[in-house]
Amino acid sequence: MDSKQFREAAISSIDDIVKYYDTIEDRRVVSNVEPGYLRKILPEEAPQTGEAWADIQKDLEAKIVPGLTHWQSPNFLAWFPSSSSFPAMLGEMYSTAFTGAAFNWICSPAVTELETIVMDWLAKAFALPPCYLSTGPTNGGGVIHGTASEAIATVLVAARDKYLREATAHLTGGNEEEEEAREDAWAERRGRLVALGSAATHSATKKAAQIAGVRFRAVPVHAADGYRMTGAELRRVILELRARGLEPFYLTATLGTTDTCAVDDMEGIASVLAELSPPGGPDGEVWVHVDAAYAGAALICPEYQHLAEAFDKFHSYNTNLHKWLLVNFDCSAVWVRDRRHLTEALSVSLAILRNPHTDSGLVTDYRDWQIPFGRRFRSLKVWFVLRAYGVDGLRAHVRKHIKHAEVFAGLLKTRPDLFEIVTGPRFALTVFKLAGDGKEGSTVEEQNALTKTMYDAVVEDGRIFLSSTVVGGVFAIRHNPATPFVEEHHVRKHFEILVEVAEKVLFKA
């Protein structure tokens, strides 16, 4: 394929993509292929000789598209959204064309520099404390990772090594024997370390602890607190662990939990840790990372920015721009208050990478801020989105969804015979269940079974796609209308479908 053929193929692909977006609402939102469908219709081996683009493109429509779940459909309400926008798509087009591994500054200075700049722009737009700015007072700064799970694994490793470094500061290393003594001390101490997160935080923290080779313990959450982690529960868990000789060194505080969009008590957490693990104290400092993967997008609006007030006492923060801020997957924005903790944990150097710029200390080598070595030019799509929408446009986008969820919750309340809200709406997420089974004194198990029957019927029906969860023992359904093209009339239609199916389940039984 030469550049002329590429131009033709690309324009035909653009036409295809425009058509896909223009008609996305008419497609069944969730794919209904059977597991293994694709192997049956593709060859056993790669073709020996090249094929024409037209044939490949035809197969894409015929064989791949039926196996897609349409995340940009206004009827996609499951998990959290993974948003898409035309400016971000253009960003990806250019980024792909300019492709390179971009592991250090000279690999393409613009890749590093634009990333630092848009991360500062975003920190300001979210009203994060100045310690997260690259130009701030604490050597902070931002970096773009792929996903929140990478962000959490990365900062957890940095937190682990910061804790161990501080705990063994008296072992200075130097010669080989001293280095080994330090290595032994780290190994012994590492075995006692515990990473914490609330019972409602995303599994990413537990997985990060598995990766880093440390223990994980969940801080319980309670319905009475709206499923948010409180300072009191954190205090209890830390003291219990210490009493058993273990050392909590890291905490994920969540702004918008996956199940219910609960926000942990940030002030309470900060105050407990100021008491139990002050910097330089005898027990070591607990690193606090705030995971705001989805709900952090709301900080673009001044009415939510008070949520960030306590963050100047914490160590790192992440928001996935690909969830709710119109940047196509993947794009997790991560900030740290002191970048040296990342580079001290993750830097390794090879002669082949050395160049005058790296040695000058003037440039950022982002490979030392992350797990992967090479990097994509992700800041380009962020820059395009920030410029094409402006801060005002992004605020309008978030507020639109918040309003949709309020409309939806209002509708649920008009049918107390059918539905009961479990939590929300919070950040455009409403969690609800069937109101009962019409019989007095039905058990939670019976009610759960009924809501599950209804949920399965909705998925089977295929007009809308939601996810389910279990909150405080209650099986519940999540409605999260935060995809870019969803409008109020869609939300009203979602409600009608839910009523239709609920009535069938409740009154047919």
**Binders of a copy of itself in range 255-284 (CB under 8 A):** 258-259
Q: What is the Cα–Cα distance from 74 to 463, expressed in whole angstroms?
A: 10
The residue (of 272 and 384) whose beta carbon lies closer to a copy of itself is 384
**Binders of a copy of itself in range 199-238 (CB under 8 A):** 202-204, 206-207, 210-215
The residue (of 48 and 443) whose beta carbon lies closer to a copy of itself is 48
- Choice from 54, 58, 62, 124 touching a copy of itself (CB under 8 A): 124
The residue (of 113 and 500) whose beta carbon lies closer to a copy of itself is 113
How far from each other are the two terminal CA atoms of the chain, in whole angstroms?
60
- Choice from 5, 172, 414, 442 touching a copy of itself (CB under 8 A): 5
The residue (of 69 and 305) whose beta carbon lies closer to a copy of itself is 69
Residue 118 near residue 143 (C-beta atoms within 8 A): no
Report the run of H or E that residue 320 belongs to, with start and end.
Answer: strand 316-320
The residue (of 234 and 382) whose beta carbon lies closer to a copy of itself is 382
**Binders of a copy of itself in range 18-37 (CB under 8 A):** 18, 20-22, 30-31, 33, 35-37
Alpha carbon separation from 448 to 409, 452, 455 (Å, rounded): 20, 6, 10
Q: Is 444 in the site for a copy of itself (CB under 8 A)?
A: no
The residue (of 219 and 273) whose beta carbon lies closer to a copy of itself is 219
Report the run of H or E that residue 453 belongs to, with start and end.
Answer: helix 444-461
**Binders of a copy of itself in range 379-398 (CB under 8 A):** 380, 383-384, 386-393
Q: Is 6 in the site for a copy of itself (CB under 8 A)?
A: yes
Q: What is the Cα–Cα distance from 425 to 403, expressed in whole angstroms?
A: 10
Q: What is the Cα–Cα distance from 144 to 370, expressed in whole angstroms?
A: 9
- Name the nearest CA neighbour of 399 among 292, 490, 481: 481
Q: Is 421 in the site for a copy of itself (CB under 8 A)?
A: no
Q: How far is the CB of 281 from a copy of itself (least distance, A)?
A: 24
The residue (of 49 and 443) whose beta carbon lies closer to a copy of itself is 49
- Choice from 29, 74, 161, 405 touching a copy of itself (CB under 8 A): 161
Q: Is 146 in the site for a copy of itself (CB under 8 A)?
A: yes
Task: Return left, alpha or beta for 452; rule: phi > 0 is left, psi -120 to 50 is alpha, else beta.
Answer: alpha
- Choice from 29, 74, 75, 84 touching a copy of itself (CB under 8 A): 84
Q: How far is the CB of 255 from a copy of itself (least distance, A)?
A: 17
The residue (of 247 and 420) whose beta carbon lies closer to a copy of itself is 247
Q: Is 15 in the site for a copy of itself (CB under 8 A)?
A: yes
- The three state secondary structure string of 348-416 is CCCHHHCCHHHHHCCCCCHHHHCCCCCCCCCHHHHHHHHHHHHHHHHHHHHHHHHHHHHHHHHHHHCCC
Sign of the alpha-carbon dihedral angle for 259, 261, 265, 267: positive
- Choice from 25, 101, 340, 437 touching a copy of itself (CB under 8 A): 101
Q: How far is the CB of 438 from a copy of itself (least distance, A)?
A: 26
The DSSP code sequence of 14-33 is HHHHHHHHHTGGGS-SS--P
**Binders of a copy of itself in range 453-482 (CB under 8 A):** 467-470, 478
Residues with Cβ within 8 Å of 488's Cβ and at least 6 positions away in sequence, in order, are 403, 404, 407
At residue 306, the 3 state secondary structure works out as: helix
Q: Is 138 in the site for a copy of itself (CB under 8 A)?
A: no
Q: Is 433 in the site for a copy of itself (CB under 8 A)?
A: no
Sign of the alpha-carbon dihedral angle for 290, 292, 297, 302: negative
**Binders of a copy of itself in range 175-194 (CB under 8 A):** 183-184, 187-188, 190-192
The count of residues interacting with a copy of itself (CB under 8 A) is 149
Q: Is 292 in the site for a copy of itself (CB under 8 A)?
A: no
